[in-house]
Amino acid sequence: MATIFVPTPMRKITRGQGKIQIQATTLQEAFEHAEAAYPGFRERVLDNKGEIKRFINVFINGVDVRRLQGRETPVQDTDEVAVIPAMAGGA
């Protein structure tokens, strides 16, 4: 199963878990399975058109999925998926 690393602000949805295991063949399928297990997951990551929100970065094994196949990027059992909200601010 692929591992999805959940950012701290989303851990309320995953009942405090920092990482979850999901069986999927594509990133889209991983999001659907995460939503089924943890309602509210999808709306925190995808916009109303089903695209990854512009202020959310998603990486598979350290590579930005926007440089791969987006939501259609294949996911293997050994893959690590990191969901990272963009940070703002600073001086």
Is residue 79 domain-resident?
Answer: yes
Q: Are 53 and 9 in contact (CB under 8 A)?
A: no
Give me the amino acid identity at 44: R
- Full residue range of the structural domain in which residue 26 is found: 2-85
Is residue 22 domain-resident?
Answer: yes
Is residue 54 domain-resident?
Answer: yes
Instruction: Tell me the per-residue pLDDT of 2-25, one tens digit each, with 9 for 90 and over.
Output: 999 999 999 999 999 999 999 999
Is residue 27 domain-resident?
Answer: yes
CA dist 5 and 17 (Å) reads: 9
- pTM score, whole prediction: 0.89
Is residue 76 domain-resident?
Answer: yes
Residue whose entry in the numeric block shows the structure tokens 């997951």: 41
Instruction: Tell me the per-residue pLDDT of 16-63, one tens digit each, with 9 for 90 and over.
Output: 999 999 999 999 999 999 999 999 999 999 999 999 999 999 999 999
In three-state form (DSSP H/G/I as H, E/B as E, the rest C), the secondary structure along 19-43 is: EEEECCCEHHHHHHHHHHHCCCHHH
Please state the domain count of the chain.
Answer: 1
Is residue 91 domain-resident?
Answer: no
- Which domain CATH number covers 54? 3.10.20.30
Helix (H, G, I), strand (E, B) or coil at 88: coil
For position 90, what pLDDT does the model report? 57
